[in-house]
Amino acid sequence: IQKIQSHLDNAPRGSKLKDKVCIITSVGSLKGIGQEVIPATVQQADAADEDAVKGICERAMKEEGRLGVFFTNAGFASKQPLHDTSKELFMETMRVNTLSCFLAIKHTSIAMLKPNPAAGKEHSSGSIILTASVSSLRSGGGTIDYSTSKAAVNSMAKTSAYQLQKCDIRVNSICPSLVETAMTAYLFKYGHQRGLAGKLGQLIPLGCFGAPECVLQHPFPPADTHPNATEIAQAGLFIALDNSSYVNGQKFAVDGGVSSSHPVVPGRPI
């Protein structure tokens, strides 16, 4: 906790979310997606524990008088194939990845529904951002428990966006492709150890891991270029800002184009 707090205290300060009160879950590693959005005060909690989620929302209301953005990032990815996936593992994945999003929507929306003119909030409003995955869009991107849990997140975004109608509370989901975080570090480590790092992104139409400008800088990208959490966080930033006030109930694939077509290994006939 102290290490994360120190990192946040010394992180560059942006101004795009000025005057926004935000809650971001899963900043437990210095490479997480949630780390890239906004400086924050750290609180240790289980994102799938209802009392904890309710408590952090109530804390925001008590200390700030309003809540504008909730970006949920808690995630767990197993490595087990279908026949080795136990019901306990399946349910734990659903608990961390799916239940956490449900609890966030439930308790965040309660807070966002409350106007507080004294705190600068004239009416109900807010943006709830759920982290899903490109594996929720088509098969081949993850294990059955992980992919199922993330597909449910997309469904919750749409359903809750409809049920929270006419109160200016928006719910959307982001579907990243493979990004290096603490959860996926083992894949990158494995790739480097076996000399396969350059193949981790070979199915991505953009041509490399990373920001679009990397295609211009590296037509044949080096093996160690890969997406970082900042790029996913930028999508979250757009959804959090008032500029996206008409964006609601949508899923955003931030994946370099990998979900746009059937995967084809470069150099092989189609």
In this predicted structure, the answer to whether residue 36 has a pLDDT above a threshold of 70 is no
Burial (CB < 10 A; 0-12, 13-18, 19+), residue 212, is exposed
The answer to whether the beta carbons of residues 26 and 48 sit under 8 Å apart is no
Query: Same domain for 166 and 44?
Result: yes
The structural domain count of the chain equals 2
- pLDDT tens by residue, 145-171: 999 999 999 999 999 999 999 999 999
Residue 264 domain-assigned?
A: no
Query: Same domain for 50 and 80?
Result: yes
The answer to whether the beta carbons of residues 177 and 264 sit under 8 Å apart is no
Query: Same domain for 155 and 200?
Result: no
Query: Same domain for 184 and 173?
Result: no
Which range in 19-33, 67-81, 111-125, 190-204 is most confidently predicted, on average pLDDT? 111-125
Residue 201 domain-assigned?
A: yes
Query: Same domain for 144 and 67?
Result: yes
Query: Same domain for 249 and 171?
Result: yes
166 half-sphere exposure, CB direction, 13 A CA radius: 0
The answer to whether the beta carbons of residues 123 and 168 sit under 8 Å apart is yes
- pLDDT tens by residue, 181-210: 555 555 555 555 566 555 556 666 665 554
Residue 249 domain-assigned?
A: yes
- pLDDT tens by residue, 217-252: 444 444 444 445 677 788 899 999 999 999 999 999
Residue 153 domain-assigned?
A: yes
Helix (H, G, I), strand (E, B) or coil at 112: helix
Which residues constitute the domain of residue 33? Answer: 2-177+230-256
Query: Same domain for 77 and 113?
Result: yes
Query: Same domain for 170 and 101?
Result: yes
Query: Same domain for 6 and 139?
Result: yes
Mean pLDDT, the chain, whole residue set: 79
Query: Same domain for 234 and 210?
Result: no
The answer to whether the beta carbons of residues 71 and 235 sit under 8 Å apart is no
pTM of the model: 0.79
